[in-house]
Amino acid sequence: MTTFVCNPSESVYGYIRVPGDKSISHRSIILSSIAHGTSEISGFLEGEDSLHTLQAFQDMGVNIEQTPSEIIVHGVGMQGLSKPTRALDMGNSGTAMRLLVGLLSGQVFDTQLIGDASLSTRPMKRVIDPIQLMGGEINSEADGTAPLWIHGGVPLKAIHYELPVASAQVKSCVLLAGLYADGITEVIEPAPTRDHTERMLRGFGCEVISTQNKISMRGGQSLEATNIEIPADISSAAFFMVAASILPQSEMTLNHVGVNPTRIGIIDILELMGADITLINEREVGGEPVADIVVKSAPLKGIEIPKHLVPLAIDEFPVIFVAASFAQGTTILTGAEELRVKESDRIQVMADGLNNLGVHAQATADGIVIQGGPVSGGEVDSHGDHRIAMAFAVASLGAKTAITINDCDNVNTSFPGFADLANHAGFQIEVT
């Protein structure tokens, strides 16, 4: 089991590029595999989560080449996937499992989806329910968790579906099933969520209509191969944004980061707290907005986080909680019950860890209340959650003494090479 021993630092600095966006990496493999023709993907995140998606499509007969600079996918078309000879292992990736539920429900063969111990506890009923409304046949464990058995050869019909919870994964699952459904599938969102699926479907030549909170798509469309350049992941950049904000005399430039409007909740929240963040070299690459992000140290203040920003920063809250710990005053988060069913219960795990470090953090049913103040050293457990582990590494920068973080193996799911890149920027992480 990997352990991080993290010592305080005086400042962080430099120009760095974090790995490719995980959400876009998953989708690039999924859509290029069912497109006609060959797609070339650059910037692909070679983390464990994305590689499980890549392996799944290889197991379904897609020829995928990996070179040092790109992934080359020889698409087989909408009906070209073949029955795998084994269960498709999604590892720790909830995104992969939920999106594939939609795609596989439209195939002519049966499949089984499995995952690691953590993924096997995460709720899948949220994607099973709409697919069953479309006519799909899916079996799960009694509590709605994996393993999942998806029965193919069942005709799907389009539905009008109102998401019970703002979730890009559920939305994407329904849209992928909608590709194989008879009629026009409509998804209604209660709040905006990341729109990478809609953008990429359009990039592959599929007509997707987005109006206010409704996304609609006609079934039976085909996809044509295209080349994809994946920007750096803002969720990974978030750790360095907070690091530069909380440490005096720090300045970092994060290069080529995706700044999709549905993903920049982390920037909005940090700026409300007083962070000094500037976007430069703004441009569009492959249908996705990209910029270099310059962050300088600044005194932070506690805030009540606006509810409309919660879905736009759902993956970044562990490190936002760290920012709150170094802020003056109280930070309050509500409306974030989704955090309790991530790779870990991120509300409780972060509250427990922060309290171990001398920070007053009170978990609530749908959020947390954090009183900023001195952060001492100590020992915390990440519970196998990559974002928890990296968040506490950021906390160590301004702590009084070292922080030991246990169970850090899963950092590789989203950010391979995190410790090396962080140390290059001024962190003091020893991996044992």
Look at residues 362, 410, 350, 406 and name the one whose alpha carbon lies nearest to residue 386: 410
Between CA 248 and CA 320 the distance in angstroms is: 18
Contact by Cβ (8 Å): 259, 276: no
Residue 432 to residue 425: CA distance in whole angstroms: 20
When the pLDDT of each residue in the chain is averaged and rounded to a whole number, the result is 97
315: annotated active-site residue: yes
Q: Cα(86)–Cα(29) distance, rounded to whole angstroms?
A: 19
pLDDT at 286: 82
Distance (Å, whole) CA 316 – CA 19: 16
Q: Please give the domain boundaries of the chain with CATH numbers for all domains.
A: 4-20+231-431 (3.65.10.10), 22-229 (3.65.10.10)
- Environment class of 373 (CB within 10 Å of its CB; exposed 0-12, middle 13-18, buried 19+): middle
pLDDT at res. 391: 98
Tell me what percent of the residues of the chain surpass a pLDDT of 70: 100
Question: Are residues 256 and 244 in contact, defined by beta-carbon separation less than 8 angstroms?
Answer: no
How does 295-321 read in b/e, with b if 16+ C-beta sit within 10 Å? bebbebebbebeeebbbbbbbbbbbbb
Residue 86 backbone dihedrals phi, psi, to 5 degrees: -150, 170
pLDDT score for 212: 87
pLDDT < 70: residue spans in the chain = none
In whole angstroms, give the CA distance from residue 200 to residue 56: 20
Give backbone dihedrals phi and psi of 343, rounded to 5 degrees, phi first.
-55, -25
User: Which residue in 21, 315, 381, 385 is the catalytic one?
Assistant: 315
pLDDT at 58: 98
| pTM given for the model | 0.94
Round to whole Å and give the CA distance between 62 and 398. 47
Q: Which distant-in-sequence residues (6+ apart) come within 8 Å of 170 by Cβ?
A: 98, 126, 127, 130, 163
CA 88 → CA 84, 110, 288, 293, 414, distances in Å? 8, 11, 30, 37, 19
| CA-wise closest residue to 363 among 382, 385, 340, 384 | 340
SS (H, E, C) 244-275: HHHCCCCEEEEEEEECCCCCCHHHHHHHHCCC
